[in-house]
Amino acid sequence: MHGLFKAAMTTAIIATSSTSFAQSYDPDRVQGEITFYTHFGNLVDSGDWQRWADEFAEAFPGASVDVVPVSEYRREMGVRIATGDYGDVLNVLDSLPPADYHQFYAPIVGSTLEDDYQFVDRYTVDGDIYGYVYGVVAEAIIYNRTSFERAGIEEIPTTLTEFMEVCSQLQDAGITPMSINMGAGWPMQQWEKVPLMLTGDGAFYETMLSDPAPFNADRPFGQSIALLRQLFEAGCTEPDYTADNWANSRTLTAAGESAMMFFGNWAVPQIAAAGDVIGVDAYDDLGMFPFPVDDSGVLSVMVGPDWALGVASNSDNPDTANAWIEFLFSSTDVAETAGFIPGPVSATHDIAAVNELYGYEPRLVFQETPSSEFKQAMADARFDFQYGAYIRDVILADDYDAAIADLNARWAAATGQ
């Protein structure tokens, strides 16, 4: 194991659930049914959520969980929260400033997780904990080794120039180089992460607040959008950019008809599972390498938390809701099954794709929580931050330069510059 990987695992991304569940609730109070809204619809289809719900009911007789999958999570759950009908357990919406958590979420109480969990500080306000993350995500290129072999690619690219050459080789072999899922909308959020990788600054977003034109080509955010446009204009992406092809893109990547995606490690098991459906065993074919976003030769991987789970402030059964969160993260394999480096600090993991990724010894950029001021500025500029459809609109604009100028104008107005 490389020294950097050891250090990273020690300081920030160690995990998998090796802890055993310790009851921290009075079983007499953990009863009745709760509604749990999840963005992992694939784990409903696989039967995993039902398995964990059954295990929970065994641990707490008289308690049950109604698992409800939600596909457009940020949008649909935002509407549900506004109406007051949002169940008992749900993700802590990242569009909410932490100061507002108490309006919609109840503090998580009686948990044994606090002393052995990562990123708890991000969801702690005035000493109250409002969320525990599913796990940790490393953002990089997921690739199909068989596709690379078919195209005669023998070396992983370490510069942007080399990456574009790899794309060209894949095109020549009749393989779609990269699925970006522009039509789905939400995958465009990946390109909001590239500026952090370019700068090596996990707090980069805060620097934008004093920049009236952060989307110019000489700025990190502008570079990111320009990189996406370069890939799109060069035909390195899938031909259909209007439809939501998220499900199909996973199947094509598993089959080796599409070679790469830029996502976190959570996507690896989803791609492999899509292969299972068509009779393709892609588990050993899938790997990860750092996305070479420029020609500097410095390889960066952005590391951050995935969604956190919280308890609805208006839950009629908060004890059962609290017990469900603790049970999931201390007594099940939910994090590993979903493809995460799990949250507890006290264990090890053996995720092959992540081990490969860190074997390249990249610079690790730990994403810091965007401030309320930054989130408000994005909202005022009408940018759907952490969804990213505004980036898609720029890439598809008839006049790219004018579209970039419009982004800058909206940002300058939103920040009073």
Class of domain 17-134+307-347: alpha beta
Spatial distance between the Cα atoms of 72 and 244, rounded to a whole number of angstroms: 12
Bridge partners of 63? 32
Helix (H, G, I), strand (E, B) or coil at 104: helix
Q: What are phi and psi of 231, to 5 degrees?
A: -65, -40
Helices (H) and strands (E) in the chain, counts: 18, 15
16 closest CA partner among 322, 320, 329, 287: 329
Measured between alpha carbons, how far is 182 from 244 in angstroms, rounded to an integer? Answer: 8
Where are the CATH 3.40.190.10 domain residues in the chain?
Answer: 17-134+307-347, 138-303+366-414
pLDDT per residue of the chain (417 residues) written in tens, 0 to 9? 233 322 333 333 333 333 333 345 566 889 999 999 999 999 999 999 999 999 999 999 999 999 999 988 988 999 999 999 999 999 999 878 888 999 999 999 877 777 778 888 889 999 999 999 999 999 999 999 999 999 999 999 999 999 999 999 999 999 999 999 999 999 999 999 999 999 999 999 999 999 999 999 999 999 999 999 999 999 999 988 889 999 999 999 999 999 999 999 999 999 999 999 999 999 999 999 999 999 999 999 999 999 999 999 999 999 999 999 999 998 999 998 988 988 877 766 778 999 999 999 999 999 988 888 998 999 999 999 988 999 999 999 999 999 999 999 999 999 999
Which has the closest alpha carbon to 57: 389, 372, 332, 401? 332
Nearest one of 132, 90, 105, 43 to 329, comparing CA atoms: 132
| Token couple for 415 | 């920040």
Q: Are 112 and 24 spatial neighbours (Cβ–Cβ below 8 Å)?
A: yes
**What's the fold here for domain 138-303+366-414?**
D-Maltodextrin-Binding Protein; domain 2 (3.40.190)
Cα–Cα distance for residue pair 417/415, rounded to 1 Å = 6
Q: Which two tokens stand for residue 347?
A: 């264990």
Contact in structure between 290 and 142 (CB atoms under 8 Å) = no
Q: What is the pTM of this model?
A: 0.84
Rounded distance between C-alpha atoms, residue 396 and residue 49, angstroms: 38
